[in-house]
Amino acid sequence: MSARRWGQDAGWWLLILPAFLLMTAFYIAPIAQVLAISFTEPSPGLGNYERLFTSESVQRVIITTLRICTITTALALLLGYVLAYRIALASESARRWWILAVLVPLWISVLVRAFAWVTLLRRQGLVNNALMDTGIISEPLQLVWNEFGIIVGMVHYMVPYAVLPLLASMREIDPRLLAAARGLGAPRFTIFRRIFLPLSLPGLIAAGVLVFIFSLGFYITPAILGGGKTLMVAEWIGLQILDLIRWGLGTMMATVLVVAILATLAIFSRLVDLRRVFGSGA
């Protein structure tokens, strides 16, 4: 870059300087500090990170988190896909109601929703009572305060986040392509499998990454629906820092979480080229 260009660019950089300083002060600096603590507490070195390979409890938390997030992502994508498909093919007026129905849960506090699930799923909850009254089961099922409960709550929270990117990519698909496939003799399922599904793949990948990253940092839902028995990363970090005052270990896990999210995004940005490979349908 020539000196003159640099001078021109400097003017533009100046314009974003306030935003940059704000970000540095309130966002980057605390993260840097978290990173620093993870290397210095309780003693300087890589001691905290060594736990990743030696401590069984640390490994268990990570594996539990990954398992729950993977299952949640898969279920949210499946439900989200069915919903988005239905909405994309609905009439204009019906579509508005569908979207509203999908978005309303987003406006309800995550705390309220978690407790609502507890009410539904606990031993004397609506679901268990209904199942026992109809005689399908004789003993109440353990539906909450375990992984099952966490997954139910998280999937419920995540479905709208899966629907929105899916819907966006499905609505980009030219309906004439589906008509053309039909005109060329393809039955419904073939049209879906060979035309619709591949063309909605970019949306599926975007929704998957979004939901997975969101799930990794889930705190309230697992805390309430897990009942303290099943620990996910976020709750575990809270426990280390707030209850056990083990700042080093807590910040180490926080750093791992941030790195995991960045890694997922990095992989995603490679995959996003798929949009080119498969065409955007526009």
CB of 193 to other proteins, least distance (A): 11
CB of 204 to other proteins, least distance (A): 13
Nearer to other proteins, 11 or 183 (CB): 183
CA gap 233, 219 in Å, rounded = 8
The single residue listed with the structure tokens 């705190």 is 219
Nearer to other proteins, 85 or 117 (CB): 85
Q: Name every residue whose Cβ is closer than 8 Å to that of residue 120 and which is 6 or more positions away in sequence.
A: 126, 127
Nearer to other proteins, 60 or 194 (CB): 194
Nearer to other proteins, 125 or 198 (CB): 198
CB of 175 to other proteins, least distance (A): 9
CB of 188 to other proteins, least distance (A): 8
Nearer to other proteins, 74 or 186 (CB): 186
The residue ranges that bind other proteins (CB under 8 A) are 174, 176-177, 179-187, 190, 194-195, 198-199, 277-281
Query: Is residue 239 packed enough to be buried (19+ CB in 10 Å), middle (13-18) or exposed (0-12)?
Result: middle
> How many residues comprise the chain?
282
CA gap 192, 184 in Å, rounded = 14
CB of 173 to other proteins, least distance (A): 9
196-to-82, 192, 199, 280 alpha-carbon distances in Å: 13, 5, 5, 12
